[in-house]
A and B are shown apart, each in its own frame.
Chain A
Amino acid sequence: MPDQVKSPVDQSVTLAGVRMKNPVVVASGTFGFGREYGEFYNLEELGGICCKGLTPARREGNPPPRIAETPMGILNSVGLQNPGVDAFIAQELPELKKHDLAIIANISGNTPEEYGEMCEKLSQAGVDMIEVNISCPNVKAGGLAYGTRPELAAEVTQIAKRHATVPVMVKLSPNVTDITEIARAVEGAGADALSLINTLRGMRIDINTRRPVLHMNTGGLSGPAVLPVAVRMVWEVANAVSIPILGMGGVAKGEDAAQLMMAGACAVAVGTACFADPYAPLKVRDELAEIACRLGHERVSDLTGTVQPWGN
């Protein structure tokens, strides 16, 4: 396990008013509720955790196979398996709250009202932020449908904001023609922050059986393969809105995180990289601090938005 770098660089960041000791959080759906990777290291090493996506009631998720490996990526079709928001509040949140890190609950609903109810419960239960998932590619109802139509995305955001007493961050889908259109609609509806990108829809076929590897036929692509798409979309969105961005998509090392921050992200999430290396988020954190230091910054947060695009 890497020791916390005693870097002269200030690693703290603030995301929509939530202060984190470093800019590295773990991405929803890749880290459960922290119990498993908490056996490898103290969760307080992280800036925050985006918890596994919650729904109003328990969901068992999609039939297997749910995982397929692709060139520098993986496809998943887990389908929001989760114990339900009440069980999370009763059984998982008290454990997480023993640790000093930003707790970000991730929610998916079938109707705008369901998002509202969950926001109310989770705010009262004391999470630090709510990440509103309008971009899950693996469920039929809600999910991605809200994330691809600006007026629906705005409606869900409005209701979430009305019921939440903690900052609301809306997670955007890359499966759209113009992500800035959705980003602006969500900002206009009052979102405090944006997180992007969710997974890209993809497919893999076993040529011997002619069957898709995933039982659901298609799934969401993550991993290093999607990093350039994430960097591009964070850059586009950062130029289109003024609310802060949590950048994610294929981050496996400090340089990847630095790219997302230069493109405009205030903080970054590490997801798929944890599967190969449970310590990936800590390595990203330390490498990012080294990069900030090497580039002459006093604060890691000074990297945000510093890309110098070519004038074309």
Chain B
Amino acid sequence: MPIQQICTIAAVTKLNPYAYHFVLEAGKMGSLIRAGQFLHIKCGDSRLLRRPISICQWQEDEPEDLVSIVFEVRGEGTQWLAEREEGEKLDVLGPLGDGFSIRPEGRYLLVGGGIGVPPLVSCATPGSTAVLGFRSADRAMPLLVDRLKEKGCGAYITSDDGTIGAHGFVDAQMRAVLEQDQAYDAVLACGPKPMLRSVVKAAEAFGLPCQVSMEERMACGVGACLGCAVRMADGSMKHVCKDGPVFPAEEVDWDA
């Protein structure tokens, strides 16, 4: 069940020139969260719509649970958010959406692109492998790579321009990983749609089930307005905020 509450920003970390990591004091929200869910955050009074921000990690704590989120500055709303400081308060709705289906003892191949990397951190299990793609070195998120490694998860980095890690896209690196070892329970992917499309093809080629986290322009965040539609393979429309953001890859219409 989602809740609306005022959360204090406990810590602000700049991951790179574009991305921010906030730790929020989030009441008793921690026990409600599942990996892959998001928070819907009000970004000032002059913008009507909240901004959906992925949950990166969380922990139940006293006096309040701690929830970390990561966002990139994309427009006016996230610019406003980026200007917030420790101690300021945010109006938060969440946790929202349907997350990844994972088991603590599962072994996963995590494939993230850019701002799609943060929600995968909480999916990492010992023995899992992450393939993380960034446009360039200045957009990489070393803090999150460390967090993945702390959890016993291997990490491969790629970049579109070759300034960090392997030069190229994540699906090429992902295929290289799978050539060596296919003993994963599933591929979990989050990133821009063209990347997801390539990742899904690669997962298919190796016969692995794949779950994808998708994004779309969103209004209510709870499934009431039907704004954030994604076309499914059967022709129906589902909604990122309520049915997703995570969908089984085979249900999505990748040609839409």
Prevailing SS type, chain A contact patch: loop
CB atoms of B229 and A81 under 8 A apart: yes
Of all chain B residues, the one with the shortest Cβ separation from A276 is B48
Expressed in whole angstroms, the Cα–Cα distance for A65 and B47 within the complex equals 18
Residues in B whose Cβ lies below 8 Å from that of A66: 217, 226-229
CB atoms of A276 and B223 under 8 A apart: no
CB atoms of A39 and B2 under 8 A apart: yes
- Judge whether B56 is part of the interface by a CB distance below 8 angstroms: no
Q: Shortest beta-carbon distance, B38 to chain A, in Å?
A: 15
Known A30-B224, A60-B236, A81-B226; contact A72-B48, beta-carbon cutoff 8 A = yes
CB atoms of A74 and B223 under 8 A apart: no
Of all chain A residues, the one with the shortest Cβ separation from B256 is A63
CB atoms of B235 and A76 under 8 A apart: no
What does the 1/0 interface line of A258-280 toward B look like (CB < 8 Å)? 00000000000000101111110
Residues in B whose Cβ lies below 8 Å from that of A223: 48
Known A60-B236, A74-B49, A278-B93; contact A37-B229, beta-carbon cutoff 8 A = no
* Chain A residues within CB distance 8 Å of chain B: 29-32, 35-37, 39-40, 52, 60-69, 72-74, 76, 78, 81, 213, 223-224, 272, 274-279
Of all chain A residues, the one with the shortest Cβ separation from B240 is A64
CB atoms of A224 and B228 under 8 A apart: no
B residues 204-254 near A (Cβ < 8 Å) are 216-231, 235-237, 242
CB atoms of B228 and A276 under 8 A apart: no
Q: Shortest beta-carbon distance, A236 to chain B, in Å?
A: 26
Expressed in whole angstroms, the Cα–Cα distance for A30 and B219 within the complex equals 10
- CB within 8 A of B229: which of A36, A63, A213? A63
Q: Shortest beta-carbon distance, A212 to chain B, in Å?
A: 12
Q: Shortest beta-carbon distance, A227 to chain B, in Å?
A: 12
Of all chain A residues, the one with the shortest Cβ separation from B50 is A276
Expressed in whole angstroms, the Cα–Cα distance for A26 and B256 within the complex equals 33
CB atoms of A36 and B227 under 8 A apart: no
Expressed in whole angstroms, the Cα–Cα distance for A35 and B2 within the complex equals 13
Q: Shortest beta-carbon distance, B109 to chain A, in Å?
A: 28
- Judge whether B101 is part of the interface by a CB distance below 8 angstroms: no
Of all chain B residues, the one with the shortest Cβ separation from A33 is B224
- Judge whether B1 is part of the interface by a CB distance below 8 angstroms: yes
- CB within 8 A of B47: which of A31, A64, A69? A69
B residues 62-102 near A (Cβ < 8 Å) are 77, 93
Residues in B whose Cβ lies below 8 Å from that of A67: 49, 217-219, 225, 227-228
CB atoms of A224 and B48 under 8 A apart: yes
CB atoms of B42 and A276 under 8 A apart: yes
CB atoms of B230 and A64 under 8 A apart: yes
Besides A275-B221, A278-B222, 7 other A-B contacts (C-beta < 8 A): A30-B225, A31-B224, A32-B223, A67-B219, A275-B50, A275-B220, A276-B50
Residues in A whose Cβ lies below 8 Å from that of B93: 278
Interface centre among B1, B42, B223, B225 (most CB of A within 10 A): B225
Residues in B whose Cβ lies below 8 Å from that of A274: 220, 224
CB atoms of A78 and B225 under 8 A apart: yes
Residues in A whose Cβ lies below 8 Å from that of B42: 276
- CB within 8 A of B224: which of A37, A65, A69? A37
Q: Shortest beta-carbon distance, B245 to chain A, in Å?
A: 13
CB atoms of B222 and A74 under 8 A apart: no
Expressed in whole angstroms, the Cα–Cα distance for A66 and B48 within the complex equals 16
Known A40-B2, A69-B48; contact A64-B229, beta-carbon cutoff 8 A = yes
The 4 closest A-B CB pairs, nearest first, are A67-B227, A32-B224, A36-B222, A36-B224
Residues in B whose Cβ lies below 8 Å from that of A39: 1-2, 222
- Judge whether B46 is part of the interface by a CB distance below 8 angstroms: yes
